[in-house]
Structure 1
Amino acid sequence: MLQAVYSLRHYLEKRGFYVSSRLADRLGMRAKSVRLFFIYVSFATFGVGFAIYLTLAFLLKLKDLVNTKRTSVFDL
């Protein structure tokens, strides 16, 4: 079992991380910096999407409160 985990880890490090290391070589940077950049960008894009969702939910709730139909003056 442990050998399978190590072989999977070795495969992923050899094949999967090669993309960031090749990009880093092409840009003249360290591979660690490229990996950290992708991690930070993924968290930032998740945060922006969540903020847009909350803003739209607030605006829809506000629209519903403004556009409620009242049948008489006493419905206030």
Structure 2
Amino acid sequence: MNYFYNILHYFQKRGYYVCQRIADRLGIRAKVVRTSFMYLTFVTLGFGFALYLFFAFWMRIKDLLFTKRSSVFDL
């Protein structure tokens, strides 16, 4: 059972970061974004989860391409 909680903790720690970034961008609470994804997943039989994975992939690519530099001398 402890193995299950370790996996659950890993996904909560890493997976919800996508919802947090979307919520920060939209100016709403992350809890609202998470529940919206859950409802969308149940209503559309998995489309919400596919949308979540698309956003996670898109944000990861964006982070790799557009790195934030603190000054001009970091080039």
TM-score by length of 2: 0.49
Q: Which has the higher contact order (CA 8 A, sep 6+)?
A: 2
TM-score by length of 1: 0.48
Pair member with larger Rg:
1
